[in-house]
Amino acid sequence: MQCRQFRGSVTGIVRQLQPPSTEPLNPVEESVRWGSKSTLGSKSFLRKFPEGNRPEVDAGHQTARISGLSSRCWHPIDAIELPPYREDDLEDIPSVGQRKAIGAGTHAAIVKAGQWKAAVQSYLATISFVDAQIGRVLDALEKSPYRDNTIVVLFGDHGWQLGEKHHWGKTTLWEEVARAPLIWIVPGLTKPGSVCARTVDFMSIYPTLTELCGVPTPKHVQGVSLKPLLADPQAPWDRPGVTTSQQGQHSVRTEKWRYIRYQDGTHELYDEIADPFEWTNLAAKKELAGVIQELAVWLPTENKAGLQLSAGGLEEGESPSAKADGAGRRKGRAEKKSR
């Protein structure tokens, strides 16, 4: 297998996407950032621990979303489909949403450079790569003494737009960003291969784990346990998934609707069944005012400022995502200097 991996930000994508190198690289060994190679070796990973000293494994993966992993390893360019897209999609969106979408003009730059398919291809390569790494962890767990008494929770903190609504990246409140993986394996409770269509959010992870583990849930924890849905994915459920992106800006997602409200009070409403790509903003329809009223009940009423980035962490005034973005930009600049 011949691969090449690039590091860097989406905004540097036009410069970075180049024909694959013929330089031999093993993408698995060269790109692991979440554990040393030795800890992932079958002899040491999840080996038998002494009684009373059971391991907790937090396996996170970090790599550039548009990593430049070679198409030869994963997805041929001819098989790449561009995401659903309408040139006029932003015309019925409030100005706050338009600014979020267009940002620094990444989409226009990618299209102008003729790199849209290549960027999607690279993103898919990253997804496939991470999927393979998750498989390694699960394979090791399966072979370990802990396969029948370990709860597995797999989640990504956000989705990603690849040009939909002229946007590249995260930090929007639309479906492709607000929807993220959430997979549970609870021995004795979940059934392999089952899928749940109910709308939930990550506020549920903490109370679900405390309930499953039989420990008290602290009073400050919001959200509700997903145990009923883990036992029966078809169980009745009357709660939406709520997503926040920057202070005072949220979306409320039910199985039928997504309602978005920005800090200035402007809003969007989408019928997710009739319009799964969220092309038609229905918020101005008078006959749907009652729907908006029902969904708005779920909007958070407490909206604290984010946290500011400081030398050692976060301070009030800036969000954690801003920290991540800032770190990414600094890293990109550092790499640029080193080349």
C-beta of 283: minimal distance to Ca ion in Å?
A: 11
- Compare residues 58 and 88 and give the one whose CB is closer to Ca ion: 88
Binding segment (CB under 5 A) for Ca ion, from list 19-27, 179-187, 275-283, 296-304: 275-283
> d(Cα 301, Cα 248) in Å, to the nearest integer?
9
**What residues from 144 to 173 belong to the interface with Ca ion (CB under 5 A)?**
none
How far apart CA 101 and CA 248 sit, in angstroms, is 18
Please state the closest distance from residue 270 (CB atom) to Ca ion, in A. Answer: 9
Query: Would you say 315 and 309 are in contact if contact means Cβ atoms under 8 Å apart?
Result: yes
> How far apart, in Å, are the Cα atoms of 245 and each of 278, 319, 323?
18, 9, 14
Segment interacting with Ca ion (CB under 5 A) among 34-42, 88-96, 216-224, 260-268: 88-96
* Residue 280 CB, nearest approach to Ca ion (Å): 6
Query: Strand, helix or coil at 194?
Result: coil
C-beta of 279: minimal distance to Ca ion in Å? Answer: 5
Nearer to Ca ion, 29 or 88 (CB): 88
Could you say whether residue 92 binds Ca ion (CB under 5 A)?
yes
Number of residues that bind Ca ion (CB under 5 A): 3
Binding segment (CB under 5 A) for Ca ion, from list 91-99, 174-182, 256-264, 269-277: 91-99
Stretch that binds Ca ion, among 3-11, 143-151, 261-269, 272-280 (CB under 5 A): 272-280
Which of 89, 175, 176, 201 lies at the binding interface for Ca ion (CB under 5 A)?
Answer: 89
If the CB atoms of residues 98 and 210 are measured against Ca ion, the closer one turns out to be 98
Euclidean distance between the first and final Cα of the chain, in Å?
26
Pairing of strands 182-185, 250-253: unpaired
Least distance (Å) from Ca ion to the CB of residue 278? 7
Q: Does 175 bind Ca ion (CB under 5 A)?
A: no
Cβ atoms of 122 and 77 within 8 Å: the answer is: no
The H or E element that residue 118 is part of is: helix 116-143
Give Cα separations from 64 to 4, 7, 59, 140 (angstroms). Answer: 13, 6, 17, 25
Q: Read off the amino acid at residue 286.
A: K
268 near Ca ion (CB under 5 A): no
Separation CA 324–CA 230 (nearest Å): 32
How many CB atoms are located within 10 Å of the residue 68 CB? Answer: 24
Distance in Å, CB of 91 to Ca ion, minimum: 6
Structure tokens given for 216? 């008290």
For the CB of residue 161, give the shortest distance to Ca ion in the complex, in Å: 14
Give, in order, the Cα–Cα distances in Å from 252 to each of 36, 106, 173, 174, 177. 40, 27, 9, 10, 13
For Ca ion, the nearest residue by Cβ is 89
Nearer to Ca ion, 202 or 277 (CB): 277
Q: Which residues bind Ca ion (CB under 5 A)?
A: 89, 92, 279
